[in-house]
Structures are given as C-alpha cells and as structure tokens.
Structure 1
Amino acid sequence: MLAISLLSVVLLNTAAATQSTIIELPQRKVPVFSKQELLPGGQATARRIAKRTFIHPAGNVPTMEQLDFWDGFSFFRDPWVASPAITTDRDGLGPLFNARSCKACHNDGGRGRLNKSGEFAAPALLFRLLKSDFFGSDKNYGNQLQPNAVRLSHHKLTKAIAGEGKVRVHYEALSGKYPDGISFSLRKPHYELEQLGYGQIETNTVLSARYTPAIYGMGLLDAIAEQDLLAQQDIDDQDADGITTKYNLVTNPQTGQIQIGRFGFKGLHATLEQQVAGAFLNDIGITNPVFSEEVCTDAQLMCRNAAEIDPEGTLDIPKKLHDLTVYMNQILAVPKARDLLSERAQNGRALFYQLRCDTCHTPKYITRSDYPIVALQSQSIYPYTDLALHDMGAQLADKGIENLAQGKQWRTPPLWGIGLQKRVQGFQAFLHDGRARTLEEAILWHGGEAKMSQQSFMNLSTTQRSDLIYFLKQI
C-alpha cells in the first residue's frame, strides 16, 4: 500500500470534493486563447492529424526538399549491420549497441513499447551509468549500458564480443486516494542488473532509466533563440514563486564553446545535431562527424579490437548521410492540435494556468529568424516546455550527476502531441522512465518544485481533473 506521504501529498482539511463540486482556486490571469494554438508548430505543423505514424515532414517544406527528408528517414528506419559488409552505407553497427535502428526505440517517431514487469528492459528503455558524487562514467561500462554485441569472425578477435549486461524491470504497485475518495494506482519501477559481461559496476555508479522520447518538433525546439530560454532562468528563485529554473551547461563538441543543454532528459546536448549524433554513437554504435570514437572501455578488449577492424579514420556514417538524418529530425512535423475549441478543453486550459503548470511548461515561443532551415524560421510555436532543469522530488530522482544536473533535476519535456501516443501507436507511457501509464499518473508523480501544482490537482473535483487531462490530450 502507498502511504500518501510517499508521494509528498498533503491532503487539505476541506470537505471532500464530489464530481459536481467546483473547487475554487487562486485566480491567475489566463491568456486569451489564440487560434495559433491550433497549429502548435506554426506553419511547420503537420498538414494532417497523425493516425498511424508521427513521421510527416513539416507542412511548409517544399515538395522537392521533402525528398531529403525521406532519404534521411531511410537511415532512421532501416537496421544497421556489422562492419565490414557489402552494404557499405549501412554497416558499422556496434561493436556494442542497444538497438539496430533508430526506429527500434522511436517507434513511428514516437516512443517505443515497454516490456512487462519481471522482463528484461525493452530497447526503448535505456540506462545511463552515472556517478553519485561527480560527473563521470563507470570504469568498466562507460556512460550507458549496452546489452548487445555484434557477432564477428576475424583474426583480431580471439573470442566473441560480450554484451555489457541486461536490466530486469520490476514494478511495485502503489495505491492512494484523492480527497474526494476516488482511488488511484501507480507503479514504481525497480531495476536489477543481470548477466554483466565485464565485472561489477563501481560502488558509486548508479543506474538512470531513460525512456526514449517522441522526436517530432525537435527542429523547432532547436530553433528557439538561446537568449529567449535564458530569459526564463531563475536559479535563486528571485521572483519567490518556489520554482528555480536552471539550464544545464555543456561543452559543444563541435565548437568547444559552453552552451545551454536543451536536448536529453538532463539537457546533455546543446543542439539537435549533437543529440542525433549522440544517439547514433551510444545507442547503435555508429561513429559520425560529431562523435568519431567508439565507446569501448579499457576493460572491453574485444570491443576495442573489433573497433580497429575498420580502416583508421573511417566513420560509420559519413557527413552527407549524417546530415540527411539530422535534417529528417529537424523538419519532422508536430501534430495538429485537436478539440481545443470545445468547452471542456477550454475549461482544462484555464485550470492548466491556474494550477501554474505553465511555470515550467512554457506554452509559447517564436523561433529564430536566422535558423538555417527557412521553414522553421520565425514560427509561433506552442511546445509547452522551458527546456530547463527542475527539481521533481525524491521519488523521481536517479541519484546521479550530469554536468550541472543533480539527481532530482529533470528537463521539462514538451507536451505538444502528448495525447496522441495511444491513438497512433496503440500504447502509451509517460515520464522519463515510462512508469506512468496515463497522464493522470504522470501528474501524481510530480514532486519537488511541482509539489504545489500536484496537490492542487489532487484537490480538484473529478470533473475538473478530467477537463485538465482532456486539454492536455488536445494540445
């Protein structure tokens, strides 16, 4: 059973709310609804509402330029094979890897399917290996657990390459009640390392689960001006609203400059190109123009020997093909909003602001006028994120450190299109580790700086909670 204190929930000493009761909230000014909100990606929004896949080019990209999009998609979709191989454009898998293709984790451009409790983690659930006391990687396993290894026969390999290990996922059932007496249930994940191939992990190494996110709209997030994001930073909570907005700072490997990290669950990459390149390297083992070195550790002799089979200086994916894949990710269209004009959605929208959800899930930006892709320039967009780090409480903490990101801190995820996952893919899961099966559960897990908003959500009437969830499903 779940003790309510486990979720940092304080039930107010008020009369229990019933389905017909309207809970009075502190009034905040709700922005006037704009029809621009119906096109959350501006003119780059998808032309049609997603039904079977999120893979659609931005609606304002000329037809001839879409050819590059579909070329890039082929490198996202098709599986990679071990090198050397006849298919030179698609070889270079591994030596260690999590999946053979981008699509294996980002199913139809969305999130991958998770396995059941008691089973090994599916490819869509990755595990970072972090240090609890500094930003670093495990001596034997590096910074990400890679369960798979290529099979090669070569004179440089005296024995087979071993995968690093597997993680068995268990879910603990938790239960609780709203103040109005309505019950809810949650699931808390527990992870068990098995079949380790290179000895034990170090004592100060911690696992951090990462459920691969939907990738549509990433180019528009990339196109937000850095100064517009930094204008939201409030590390010392100078406005005394209980929210300390902070951006991770990372070194851009292409320029050597320090920039804010806007991609990844902890804001580890400064640009979309680096995010794509990092996924190529860490998830599939594909060296590329941004990250050109394999990730084998000193303890992984056969991995290092396999990496030396390719001619020195050869990249698994050359710049031309890498750029096509990045371009595909840049112009992958945000889905249209749905029933936002309905009374129910408008009621939910008002609650979204009154509960201060917009404090972290910033609704609107205008993209840069000088972004390299014309279709993404000067677009009014509604991603509902500040791309910043926030303390989400002890229950969601991973106890690891990544640059300036502490264990309790997570980057605010965008909410656009979030209600389409089940409709498009046939399943849904939310939060950084996929523990939440519904949007309601995701809200209930909010703690730390979001605790007050979570408590306010708990104390809404059943109808109000339903209206807020309905709004989130429409944006």
Structure 2
Amino acid sequence: MQNATHKAYAQPAANLDVQRRAKFFIGNAFFNSPWVVAPASAGARDGLGPLFNARSCDACHNNDGRGRPPERDGERLVSLVIQFATPVPGDNNEPGSDPRYGGNLNPFAIGGVDAEGTVRITHREIQGQFGDGESYTLLAPEYTFEELAYGELAHDNQFSPRVAPSAFGMGLLEAIPESTILERADLEDSNGDGISGKPNRVWDHRLKKLVIGRLGWKLNQPDIAHQTAGAFSSEIGMSTSLRPDQICTSVQTACLAAPTGGSPEISDEIFQHIVDYQQMLAVPARRHLDAPEVKRGARLFLDAGCESCHRAAFTTGDQPERPWLSRQTLHPFTDLLLHDMGPGLADGRADFDASGSEWRTAPLWGIGLQKIVNGHTRLLHDGRARDVSEAILWHGGEAEKAKEAYRTLSKSDRAALLAFIDSL
C-alpha cells in the first residue's frame, strides 16, 4: 500500500508475520526514545554521553529519513556530523582519530563535562549555466571550528562533514549477494566507459576480518549492526558489545571520570531490537509510474548514463533467518560501489580503501518523498545541494559525462528527468 505521508519511510515491510511486526514496533520505540544521563531510575535507558551529538537515533534520522546541515547561524550540529581522521590509518586500516577530539566532533555534553566545540558553516557561491543559457548557483560549504574546549585540532587533521542518511531499505542492501555487487566493479575501467567502481573493504569486528562495505557515505560499514554500534559510540556516547569502549580521549579528564550506564550501556537485547527494526523498514512505493513525463525522464536517465552507477535492480539472496528479505527484487538505484566524484566533492579524508574523492553511489529510492518526510530537500554527503538538480550539477570525476549530459538538456527534458527521479 502506498504511503506518501511524513511516515512514508517508517513503515514495516509488508511481508512480515505477526510476531516480527510486534518486534518491529518494539524496535521503533527504542529507535525513537531519548537516552538519559547515568545514573537514572530507567537503568535500561541511561548512559548518554558524556559527549554526544544527539540523544536518540531519531534525532538524526528523523522519521527514518535524511539529516541536514544547520539552517541558521548559531544552530548546533545534530544530524550533520564532522568526522575526523589522521593521514596514517589506525588499526585494521580504519581511519585514525584526532588525539584530542577522537573520531568526530561532539557539540553536546552532560553536566560537568565541556562539549568539544562547534562549527560555523559559510558558503561560497559557484555560478554556472545550463546549455540553454539558464543560470544556476551552487553553494560550496566552508567550515570554521569554534569554541574548541580541548585545544587545537591536530595540524594534519582531516575532516569530513556527513549528514545522516535515511534508514529504510538497509536490510535489503545487506541481503544482496556480494558476487552481485562485484559484477559492476571495474577498477581498471577495462571497458573504457570512464566508470571504474570499486568495493570498499572494511573491518568486521565480529568476524575479525576485512569484508565488503555496504553502508555509509563511503561504504565504511559492513552491516546495520556495525553502523548502529558506531553511531551509538561516536554520536550518542554509549557503549555496546560491538563497540565496548568509551570515546573520551586522554585530555578529556572530566569525560573519563563521568559515570557510565554499565558495560555495555546498550544491552545486547535492546541493541538487537534496534538492528531488527532497521532491517524490517520497508522501502516506500514508487509513484506516478505511468505519467508520460516520468516515462520520458526514465529514458533520459538511461541516455545520460546515470544508470551506470545508479543501478536500477538487484535480487537479494536466500536469508533463512530473515525470510522477509529473501529473494526480493529491489530498485535502490545504487551499485554499492565507490566512485571518484572529482575534486569538487572531495573531502580529503580516506576511509578504509575509499580515497578522499571517492564516494558510494547514493541510493535514489524514496528521494521524492524527502520534503514531505523531513521538511527539506538537502542532498549529498554534507547536504550542500538544495535539490536534486544541484546534486547532479555537483557530480564530477567518473560522473562528469553524465552531469554534462544533464546540464546540456533542454529545460523540458531536465524537468522530465527530475520528474523520474522524484517518482522513485
């Protein structure tokens, strides 16, 4: 059934049985509920911080949708996170941490602990023209760190602003066979089409080995469990069995001395409820499939070469323990590979095998409902694009040819291509 309301991203998969639907709503409650400072009478929900970006999963993934950069001067970062790294990787090829501030900037803290700081975002305007002479303006964000409480950032610190991605459909992406993803990997561009997608190889803390990355802006997480544990650790400041350590650095003495909510602070049972919930989230149904403009836009999408990276269809493998994900045909419009997007989008921060200019192909499914669900249309890894058209115009590197194909379309053809993307 089609849902085009503000809850379009928050629906359970239609093929869940009664017992799993009940689990879905238990997980939904934990995903949306705020965590509190320890010690608290609600022992199962305490342990927030001492340093954090948000108090709940929903604070960043509101209605299971996309985050955004701050909209006004002085607004603290919530659903946009500044991730840090050092030029030399850490253990298992993971990004190294800033010695004073760790893996990312935490703009909030519990009482008695100083928050790490905040960021001022300004924009440089980039003027351009479509092929028909119509002008456009892109906004290039520039970041200034302010109110740093623990000294200067390391001189060789590399940082990457990243907005929270949508949460729906991740269970399906987990269930795609690795061999299917690798079908389009072409590191040497052997077919000469200018597209050389590659997988990221990331550390699995459970298996203790490198595996293919499936989630995250640079495909830096192997599955929902790792992505969730990483977010609890670095952005909510709470430990799990998968990420048992606190995030305080050696200079953050008050943080180190603060009370905890136990070890781990998120019990395995609650953690699994939250992971299960995300695996059970449905993908919103497409809309307006039969509209002539949408059909025309689909042809233009193919002709421009967009499908070379935004792969239209996959089929999941057998999932005996998660039958609702088994043998499902899905249309995420991503290839789950990394592509060099050129210097305009480069952040300079390596992430496992992903270079500073390489990004995963963002899934396009559900994108037309973002305004309804999240109240904004900001796109790309740092939310710089104000709409789909700007997101396309930021494409470079391997996507330069496709971007130029879009830029040189007539106004009516551009509108048709955008109508197709909106229908997804």
User: How would you bin the TM-score normalised by the shorter chain?
Assistant: over 0.9
Amino acid at match of 1:270: P
Kindly state the Cα deviation for residue 96 of structure 1 after the two structures are TM-superposed: 0.9
* Cα-Cα RMSD: 1.4
- Counterpart Cα distance in 2 of 1:128 and 1:376: 32
Q: Secondary structure at the match of 1:164?
A: coil
State the structure with more CA Rg. Answer: 1
Q: Is the 8 A contact 2:297 2:413 kept in 1?
A: yes
Matched, 1:61 2:10: no
- Aligned residue in 2 for 1:137: 97
Q: SS of 2:138's equivalent? A: strand
Instruction: Tell me the amino acid that sits aligned with residue 86 of structure 1.
Output: S
Q: Secondary structure at the match of 1:104?
A: helix
- Residue of 367, 376, 395 corresponding to 2:344: 395
Matched, 1:206 2:158: yes
* Mapped pair 1:99 → 2:54: yes
**1:331-352 per-position Cα deviation (integer Å, ceiling 9, x unaligned):** 1110000001111111110111
The answer as to 2:6 corresponding to 1:52 is yes
Structure 2: how far apart are the matches of 1:378 and 1:289?
A: 31
Which aligned pairs between 1:456-475 and structure 2 lie closer than 5 A? Answer: 456-475=405-424
Determine the structure 2 residue equivalent to 1:88. Answer: 43
Q: Distance in 2 between matches of 1:362 and 1:420?
A: 20
Query: For residue 48 of structure 1, what is the amino acid of its counterpart?
Result: Q
> Deviation string for 1:124-177 (max 9, x for gaps)?
1110012245441111111111111112xxxxxxxx211111011112233221
Instruction: Give me the whole-angstrom Cα distance separating, in 1, the residues matched to 2:165 and 2:66.
Output: 5
Render the CA deviation track for 1:303-324: whole Å, top value 9, x for unaligned.
11225x555xx21111111100
Residue aligning to 2:169: 217
Match of 1:368 in 2: 317
2:264 corresponds to: 315
Q: Which residue of 1 aligns with 2:92?
A: none
Structure 2 SS opposite 1:394: coil
Residue by residue over 1:348-380, the C-alpha shift from the partner in whole angstroms, topping out at 9 and shown as x without a partner, is 101111111111111111001135311111000
- Name the CA distance, whole Å, in 2 between partners of 1:93 and 1:246: 37
- The 2-side partners of 1:428 and 1:189 are apart by 16
1:409-440 per-position Cα deviation (integer Å, ceiling 9, x unaligned): 01111100011101223222100000111100
Which letter maps to 1:139? P
| Match among 297, 319, 330 for residue 381 of structure 1 | 330
Partner residue, 1:241: 193
Contact 1:120–1:166 at 8 Å: present in 2 too?
no
Gaps of 5+ in 2: 90-94
Q: Distance in 2 between matches of 1:441 and 1:310?
A: 44
- 2:119 paired residue number: 167
Q: Which moved more, 1:164-173 or 1:322-331?
A: 164-173
In the alignment, is residue 73 of structure 1 matched against residue 25 of structure 2?
no
> Aligned with 1:136: secondary structure?
coil
Contact 2:350 2:356 in 1 (8 A): yes
1:350 aligns with 2:350: no
User: Highest relative contact order (Cα 8 Å, sep 6+), 1 or 2?
Assistant: 1
Distance 1:150 1:392, change over 3 A: same
Residue 167 of structure 2 corresponds to residue 250 of structure 1: no
Is residue 134 of structure 2 the alignment partner of residue 182 of structure 1?
yes
State whether residues 120 and 167 of structure 1, in contact with CA within 8 Å, keep that contact through their aligned partners in structure 2. Answer: no
**Aligned residue among 230, 236, 241 for 1:289:** 241
Per-residue deviation, residues 269-325 of structure 1 (Å, max 9, x unmatched): 111111111111111112112111111111212211225x555xx211111111000
Question: Distance in 1 between the 2:85 and 2:339 partners?
Answer: 18
Does the 8 Å CA contact 1:223/1:371 hold for their aligned counterparts?
Answer: no
1:246 Cα shift? 0.9
Aligned residue runs from structure 1 range 269-280, under 5 A: 269-280=221-232
TM-score (norm 1): 0.86
Deviates further, 222-231 or 111-120: 111-120
- Give the TM-score of the pair, scaled to structure 2: 0.96
Q: CA deviation at 1:268?
A: 1.1
Q: For 1:387 and 1:364, how far apart are their aligned partners in 2?
A: 12
Q: SS of the counterpart of 2:102?
A: coil
Counterpart pick for 1:404 among 330, 348, 353: 353
Say if 1:119 and 1:169, in contact at 8 Å, map to a contact too.
Answer: no
> What is the distance in 2 between the residues matched to 1:425 and 1:414?
17
Alpha-carbon distance in 2 for matches of 1:437, 1:259: 34
**Inter-partner Cα distance in structure 1 for 2:87 and 2:396:** 21
CA distance in 2, matches of 1:405, 1:52: 34
Q: How far apart are the structure 2 equivalents of 1:115 and 1:405?
A: 27
Instruction: State the one-letter code of the partner of 1:143.
Output: G
CA contact (8 A) 2:13 2:281 kept: yes
Range that drifts further, 186-195 or 362-371: 362-371
Q: Give the unaligned 5+ runs of structure 1.
A: 1-46, 152-159
Counterpart amino acid of 2:177? A
Instruction: State the SS of the aligned residue for 1:317.
Output: coil
C-alpha distance in 2, partners of 1:113/1:278?
A: 19
Query: Structure 2 residue aligned with 1:148, among 105, 108, 112?
Result: 108
* Larger deviation, residues 409-418 vs 421-430: 421-430
The alpha-carbon deviation at position 266 of structure 1 amounts to 1.1
Of 400, 408, 416, 2:365 maps to 416
Q: Tell me the secondary structure at the aligned position of residue 395 of structure 1.
A: coil
Aligned residues: 418
Instruction: Name the counterpart of 1:127.
Output: 82
1:230 counterpart (182, 198, 201)? 182
SS at match of 1:103: helix
